Structure 1
């Protein structure tokens, strides 16, 4: 899919490690990945996030999304239950070499950050012309 293809054993190890690291780190950022003909779209759930705190960067094939959720309370307010996670959220995605990191676009709407990453032209599906009987031998063996 989106991740660089590697040994399935290593991929499973990384998946388990990432899951444990996210649990230990606290705040999570659920993500869906959609592959289309010309691009990949990643959608991150970021409810209650100030759009000005969202940062998307790409460096050496790694897309990093970070955001911050903070809430202030007045002098007369006292927090007695906290179930909503506050702080900084970060998610890193390793991009395939078939994606164009120079043309990434991002938009935040209704608590969802959508990141669009175009597929490089050379990696897009294309139709191969099948040559007819008389031309095949000449074209392939010449």
Structure 2
């Protein structure tokens, strides 16, 4: 079976390593500036950005970079120390939507990527207060 005969992974469809890097680089300034999200992140955002790059690469069907360095993602457990509200999940997805648009990703693909990220975003919700 040739490459053209099989379905592309999300990772391949969005443009692989370069695209994931662009998304992460467009995303985190928006997160840091967001009043609900910024306070949850450290001032030195570079390690967070690198982990996000590794995770999204794996999540979208690329090489298992995150697991190779950190083991099973266990993302809900890793986010439990932070108060994740439905409003913060919405804000996270909003920042991601802006980042995807900023990278020039085609609309249909952007919508598919956001749909794929909705599950994890809302799965991380662990509190319903705005504190």
For this structure pair, what is the TM-score category when the shorter chain's length is used for normalisation?
A: under 0.3
More strand by share: 1
TM-score of the two chains, using structure 1 as the length reference: 0.26
Flag the structure with larger Rg.
1
Structure ranking higher on relative contact order (CA contacts 8 Å, 6+ apart): 2
The structure carrying a bigger helix percent of its residues is: 2
